[in-house]
C-alpha cells in the first residue's frame, strides 16, 4: 500500500487512522511485567486489546507466562502464530464450539473456564474421544455479576471436574479480581482444601485489579489487556495517565457548520459507541472540546468552550474511551515512533466472535 | 467453510451469527421502491446498512437509480463490482482523499457533497488537472445539527460551484429530510432560482423522512439504508414492525449464574454499544427479557420478568438496536429462507472508514 513504510510519517496516513506510540507501548509492557514480577504473580496479557500476534510476542518476550484470548477463534489466530499457552476465560458451549476447541487443544496448551454443570458436561463429552484431558478452571462470580459460579456451585463444579477422567481441574478464575473478592476466594480455597482438592492457579483479571493485587495474595496469575495501550477510561479510573496512552485516533475536521461545532471524519465505526461521562473520546489538541455524539462516520464536537478552534482540514488526535473495541473496528493499526511509522499491523484477530 | 451450503440450516451455524431473512429483505426492497415509484421520487439506497454488492444489485434491479456510500473506500468496493451511479454524501477533505476520489470519478459517475468553501476549494484543486468536472451537491444543515451549510452559506457555495470550471453543481442534499426542513428548502430553491441557478436534484435521506416524503414535494430523490433489514429502532420509531425485521443475531446462552440472569455469547463486538431505552437488543423468544449490559463477548440478560427462562445451551435470536453498525462488526452474514441458509455473504465493505 505504501512504497516505503520505513520513511512514512503519520502525516501521510489517511484519516481516521489508529496510531500506536511504540515507545509508550513498550514502556507499558515493561512496567506491568515488572509490577507482576515484583509481587511474584504470573502475568498473562489479554490479547483482545490488540489482537495482533507480534504484540503478544513482545509481551511474552518481556516475561508473560502465556496469553488470554476471549473466544476460540481469537485463540486460533495466536496459536497459528506459534503461541502455545492460551487461557480462554469463557464458557465454551455447544458441540460445534467444543469440537473446535478440542482441535485447538490437541496441539496447544489450552485452558478454559466453566461456571455450570452444563458447560462442564459439554466439555467432558467433547474431550472423551480424544484420550487427553482438557484443562478447565472454575469461574467464580464477582461483584460485577457477569458470569461465574456461586461458592456452593464452584465447590460442586471443582469436584465434578476433579472426578471427571476427561478433564483436569486447572484452578479458579475471577473477573475482576478487586480486593473485595478476597473473603469469597478464601472461603472457596478453604473448602476445596477440606475436600482434598488442590488449586494450582488462581487467575485474577482487570487493570484495576492489577493495581491492587498486592491486597489479594491468593491471586497467583493476573490477566490484563488494556494496559498495553491504555485509554480514556483507564486514565479516568486513575489506572494510568494521559502520558501512558499509546493509542490515539488521528482524525480530520471535515465540517464546521458554525463557530461552536465541528465534525470529525470518525464516528461510531471508528470509536465504537462506548461513552465516558456521555463523551466518546478525549481530543488531545482541544482538551475543552466535547465529542458529544457519533453517527457511523460523523463525530460531533462542541468546541464552544475552546479558545482556539479547529478549521476544516485540521488534524486532531483522539484518545478513545475503550481501546479494545477500537482495535476490533479497524483492519489495520499503525505503530509509530515520534511520528515515523514503523509498523503497519493488520488486526489479525479482528471480528473473531466464534 | 461449509461442505454444502445449499442444505445447511441456521441450526448448524456457530453463534453469534447475523441472520438475514431473505423473504423479509426482498419484501422490504420491493415495498420501499414501490413507495418511491408511487410518489415519483428517485430511490437511492444507502449501502452502509448491508455493505454487500449483491444486495445493492437487488436494490438496483428493483428500480433504484443508484446507490449512496458514506466514504470513498466504501464506494470503491461497489464500483469495483460494476455499480456506477454513486453518491457520497460527505465532505471529502484533504489531498490524499480527494486524489482517491478523483481516481474513482474517472471511471464512475460519482457525486459528492460539500458544506464549506474549504471543501469546495479542495475538490476543485484535485479536479483541475483531470480535465473533467466533478459533480458536487451542497449539503444543507437540518434540525439534526450535524454537518451542512446555513441558507446563506449554501447560496454562496452553490454560486462558487456553479462558477468553478472544474466542478458541476449537482443539486442540494440534506439529512434527515423530515417535513420540518421544507421552509428552509423552499427558501434556498427560491433564492437560487433568483440567481439563475437551477437545481437538478434535491436529495433527502432517512427512513423517517421516507415515510413522510409526500409532505416535502421538493425532494426529488431519497436515500435510505436501514429499511432493507430494519432494526429495533425503526420499529420503536414506528417506521416498521417486528415482522419487517430481516436481521436477527443468533446467540447461545453460555451462563446462568442465577435464576434471574443469563449471559449470551454476543456482546459489544456483536451488537455494538448502541442502546434503545438503555437496552442493547430485543430478544425475540423472551420479549420480557432485558439485554441490559454488554462487555465485548458477554451479553447480560435480566430474565427475572420472564415466565419461562432459558438455560445454558439454549439459542435465542436478538433484533439489534441498529442494523448498520452490526453489519460493520461481522466478517460474514448469512441469508436464509425459512431457516435454510442460501447465502453466505462476506461483508465486502466492512471497516471502510477512509
What is the domain-level CATH number for residue A315?
Answer: 2.40.37.20
Quick one: pLDDT band at residue B1, thresholds 50, 70, 90?
A: very low
Quick one: pLDDT band at residue A22, thresholds 50, 70, 90?
A: very high
Residue B7: the pLDDT is 79
Question: Would the CA dihedral through B23, B25, B29, B31 be positive or negative?
Answer: positive
Nearest CB to B273 within list A149, A270, A272: A272
Residue B4: the pLDDT is 58
What mean pLDDT is predicted for residues A241-247? 98
Same domain for A213 and A256? no
Q: Tens digit of pLDDT for each residue in B33-89?
A: 999 999 999 999 999 999 999 999 999 999 999 999 999 999 999 999 999 999 999
Chain B contact set for A300 (CB, 8 A):
145-146
Chain A contact set for B249 (CB, 8 A):
none
Same domain for A190 and A132? yes
Q: Tens digit of pLDDT for each residue in A257-296?
A: 999 999 999 999 999 999 999 999 999 999 999 999 999 9
* Domain presence at residue B7: no
Nearest of B95, B74, B100, B97 to residue B86 by alpha carbon: B74
SS (H, E, C) B251-305: EEEEEEEECCEEEECCCHHHHCCCCECCECEEECCCCCCEEEEECCCCEEEECCC
Q: Is the pLDDT of residue B3 over 60?
A: no
Number of structural domains (chain A) is 2
Name residues 244-263 of chain A within 8 A of B (Cβ): 252-258, 261, 263
Same domain for B214 and B267? no
Same domain for A113 and A131? yes
Is residue A283 within 8 A of residue A318, CB to CB? The reply is yes
Q: Is the pLDDT of residue B5 over 70?
A: no
Q: Is the pLDDT of residue A49 over 70?
A: yes
* Domain presence at residue A340: no
Residue B131: the pLDDT is 85
What mean pLDDT is predicted for residues B186-193? 98
* Domain presence at residue A352: no
Residue where one domain finishes, among candidates B228, B263, B297: B228
What mean pLDDT is predicted for residues A4-10? 77
Percentage of residues in chain B having pLDDT higher than 70: 98
Nearest of B73, B114, B129 to residue B97 by alpha carbon: B73
Looking at residue A149, what DSSP letter applies? B
CATH of the domain at A190: 3.20.20.10
Residue where one domain finishes, among candidates B180, B202, B228: B228
Tell me the residue range of the domain where A43 lies. 23-229
C-alpha cell at A121: 458436561
Q: Tens digit of pLDDT for each residue in B150-170?
A: 999 999 999 999 999 999 999
Q: Tens digit of pLDDT for each residue in A79-129?
A: 999 999 999 999 999 999 999 999 999 989 999 999 999 999 999 999 999
Q: Is the pLDDT of residue B343 over 70?
A: yes
Measured between CB atoms, does B295 come within 8 Å of chain A?
yes
Same domain for A71 and A193? yes
* Domain presence at residue A290: yes
Q: Do B254 and A300 touch (CB under 8 A)?
A: no
What mean pLDDT is predicted for residues B135-140? 98
Q: Is the pLDDT of residue A1 over 70?
A: no
pTM as predicted = 0.96
Q: Is the pLDDT of residue A2 over 60?
A: no
Chain A contact set for B97 (CB, 8 A):
14
**Residues of chain A by 3-state class (helix, strand, coil), percent to 5:** 35, 25, 35
Beta bridge partners of A315: A252
Looking at residue A214, what DSSP letter applies? G
Residue A56: the pLDDT is 98
Looking at residue A331, what DSSP letter applies? S
* Domain presence at residue A109: yes
Q: Do A70 and B296 touch (CB under 8 A)?
A: yes
Residue where one domain finishes, among candidates B166, B197, B228: B228
Chain A contact set for B94 (CB, 8 A):
14-15, 252, 313
Name residues 148-187 of chain B within 8 A of A (Cβ): 148-150
* Domain presence at residue B106: yes
Same domain for B305 and B175? no
Q: What is the CA radius of gyration of chain B?
A: 22
Name residues 16-75 of chain B within 8 A of A (Cβ): 16, 48, 70-71
Same domain for A52 and A139? yes
* Domain presence at residue B21: no
* Mean pLDDT value across chain A: 97
Same domain for A167 and A262? no
Name residues 312-351 of chain B within 8 A of A (Cβ): 312-313, 324-325, 328-331, 350-351
C-alpha cell at A60: 511474552
B107 class by beta-carbon count within 10 Å (0-12 exposed, 13-18 middle, 19+ buried): exposed
ipTM, two decimals, is: 0.96
* Domain presence at residue B79: yes
Nearest CB to B353 within list A100, A256, A270: A270
Same domain for A190 and A122? yes
Q: Do A266 and B353 touch (CB under 8 A)?
A: yes
Residue A7: the pLDDT is 79
Same domain for B116 and B237? no
Same domain for B153 and B68? yes
Q: Tens digit of pLDDT for each residue in A225-237?
A: 999 999 999 999 9
Same domain for A120 and A253? no
Q: Tens digit of pLDDT for each residue in A151-204?
A: 999 999 999 999 999 999 999 999 999 999 999 999 999 999 999 999 999 999
What mean pLDDT is predicted for residues B264-272? 98
Q: Is the pLDDT of residue A75 over 80?
A: yes
What mean pLDDT is predicted for residues B243-269? 98
Quick one: pLDDT band at residue A223, thresholds 50, 70, 90?
A: very high
Q: Do B91 and A254 touch (CB under 8 A)?
A: yes
Tell me which of B10, B16, B118, B255 to substitute to probe the interface with A (most A C-beta atoms closer than 10 Å).
B255
Q: Is the pLDDT of residue A6 over 90?
A: no
Cβ-based contacts under 8 A for chains A and B: 171
Amino acid at each position: 500500500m505504501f512504497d516505503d513504510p520505513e520513511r512514512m510519517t503519520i502525516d501521510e496516513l489517511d484519516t481516521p487512522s489508529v496510531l500506536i506510540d511504540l515507545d509508550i507501548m513498550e514502556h507499558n509492557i515493561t512496567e506491568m511485567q515488572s509490577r507482576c514480577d515484583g509481587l511474584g504473580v504470573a502475568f498473562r496479557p489479554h490479547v483482545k486489546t490488540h489482537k495482533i500476534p507480534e504484540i503478544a510476542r513482545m509481551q511474552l518476550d518481556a516475561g508473560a507466562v502465556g496469553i488470554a484470548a476471549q473466544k476460540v477463534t481469537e485463540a486460533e489466530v495466536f496459536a497459528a502464530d506459534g503461541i502455545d499457552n492460551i487461557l480462554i476465560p469463557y464458557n465454551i458451549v455447544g458441540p460445534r464450539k467444543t469440537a473446535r476447541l478440542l482441535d485447538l487443544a490437541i496441539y496447544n496448551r489450552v485452558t478454559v473456564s466453566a461456571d455450570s454443570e452444563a458447560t462442564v458436561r459439554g466439555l467432558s463429552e467433547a474431550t472423551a474421544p480424544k484420550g487427553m484431558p482438557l484443562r478447565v478452571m472454575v469461574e467464580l462470580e464477582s461483584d460485577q455479576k457477569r458470569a461465574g459460579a456461586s461458592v456452593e456451585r464452584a465447590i460442586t463444579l471443582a469436584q465434578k471436574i476433579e472426578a471427571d477422567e476427561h478433564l483436569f481441574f486447572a484452578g479458579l478464575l475471577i473477573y475482576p479480581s478487586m480486593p473485595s473478592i478476597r473473603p469469597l476466594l478464601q472461603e472457596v480455597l478453604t473448602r476445596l482444601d477440606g475436600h482434598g482438592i488442590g488449586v494450582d492457579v488462581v487467575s485474577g483479571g482487570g487493570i484495576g485489579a492489577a493495581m491492587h493485587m498486592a491486597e489479594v495474595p491468593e491471586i497467583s496469575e493476573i490477566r490484563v489487556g488494556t494496559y498495553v495501550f491504555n485509554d480514556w477510561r483507564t486514565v479516568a479510573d486513575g489506572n494510568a495517565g494521559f502520558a501512558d496512552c499509546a493509542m490515539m485516533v488521528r482524525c480530520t475536521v471535515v465540517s464546521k457548520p458554525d463557530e461552536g461545532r465541528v465534525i470529525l471524519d470518525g464516528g461510531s465505526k471508528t470509536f465504537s459507541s462506548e461513552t465516558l461521562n456521555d463523551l466518546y473520546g478525549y481530543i488531545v489538541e482541544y482538551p475543552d472540546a466535547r465529542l458529544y455524539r457519533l453517527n457511523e462516520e460523523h463525530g460531533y464536537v462542541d468546541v464552544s468552550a475552546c479558545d482556539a478552534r479547529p478549521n476544516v482540514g485540521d488534524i486532531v488526535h483522539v484518545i478513545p474511551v475503550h481501546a479494545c473495541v477500537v482495535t476490533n473496528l479497524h483492519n489495520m493499526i499503525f505503530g509509530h515512533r515520534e511520528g515515523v511509522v514503523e509498523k503497519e499491523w493488520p488486526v489479525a484477530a479482528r471480528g473473531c466472535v466464534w
